[in-house]
Amino acid sequence: MVRALLMLFLLAGSNMVFAQDLHFSQWFNAPLMVNPANAGFIPDADYRLGANYRNQWSSIMTVPFKTMGVWGDVQVFRNKIESGWVGLGGSIMQDVAGSGLLRSTKIRASVAYHQMLGTAHLLSAGFNAGWANKRINTHDLKFPDQFDGRFFDKDLPTSVYLDHNSVGYLDMQVGINYAYFPTSDLYINGGVSVMHFNRPRESFFTADDPGFDNRISPRYNVFANMSYKLNEWIILNPMAYYSRQSTASEIVGGGTLQYNLSGDGESQLLGGLFYRHNEAVIPMVGFAWKNIRLMFSYDATVSTLNNFNSGRGAFEFSLVSHSLFNNYNGVKRQSLCPTF
């Protein structure tokens, strides 16, 4: 019974962390997290590097939840495969729940193949695999048999125990993407992915408890975006994202705008607004200079949690750099996306 109660506690914690683990409002600035087919799926460059940071619930927690990651991908064999190429990528993501009670780390490597279909269509398929680790700090946990009638006393003995405070497993994902770019002013892209499709087991216990399935449920991601160049000064980027794992789901929609500050497109002002259904309004602002883009966003809570955090949900930063090899027989490859 004690083990069952602790399993419920940990499972409840994992559901809460699902909303945080590998979770960014700027999902489009963390492409390898969304879909492994995004590895090498770089319409305006040959390689890119990125970093993301999210800080959540600092207004209601002494130590807020933090999610951070670094990633990179590159196109290879572009000159050796007719109308296609291979994408390679890698990422390191970490999530820290509160004061370090639960720490998740995921290291992944991705490979994808991209094939042009005619002159205006691109189909991609990708796969990634990596090692995931979850570690829990039991020192600050309190259990029902440590309640003295008034308070929880950590110095009281407890019959609750974990067989392990760290668990690691192989984690695998698959995905497909499709892109359509009929003119130099229009680009449409969408994709579907399945995360944890191998359903790895995740438990801090050596033996399974009857009635509990400790396999991770598959997570399904769907996204769509579009870029449309209105004129030489403005590019619009509407987009949407949907994710579902077991009974938890998330849907986000909105868009960003790129404004040409310098006339030659090397300096751009970025702005956007998104809405996470029944949860948050997310304004964004950023700046791009040459091949570097920095964006800041803030999740303003609109759910019932607003009664406790006064709308102060989360803030997030992303930094992305991309570039071209410029070695296509002396001819610079043109971008598939609208550019200034």
pLDDT for 26-78, tens place per residue? 999 999 999 999 999 998 899 999 999 999 865 555 667 889 999 999 999 98
pTM of the model: 0.86
Mean pLDDT by 10 residues, the chain (340 residues): 41 39 86 96 93 79 81 94 94 82 92 95 97 86 75 75 88 97 95 96 76 86 97 97 93 97 95 95 97 96 65 86 73 76
Residue with tokens 């602790």: 6
| Integer Cα distance of 167 and 135 in angstroms | 7
Distance CA 235, CA 225 (A): 13
What does the alpha-carbon distance between residue 297 and residue 288 come to, in Å, rounded to a whole number? 15
Residue 23 corresponds to which tokens in the numbers above? 């979770």
Q: For the chain, which domains are there?
A: 2-323 (2.40.160.40)
- Write out pLDDT tens, residues 227-258: 999 999 999 999 999 999 998 999 999 999 99
Half-sphere exposure (CA, 13 Å, Cβ side) for 84? 11
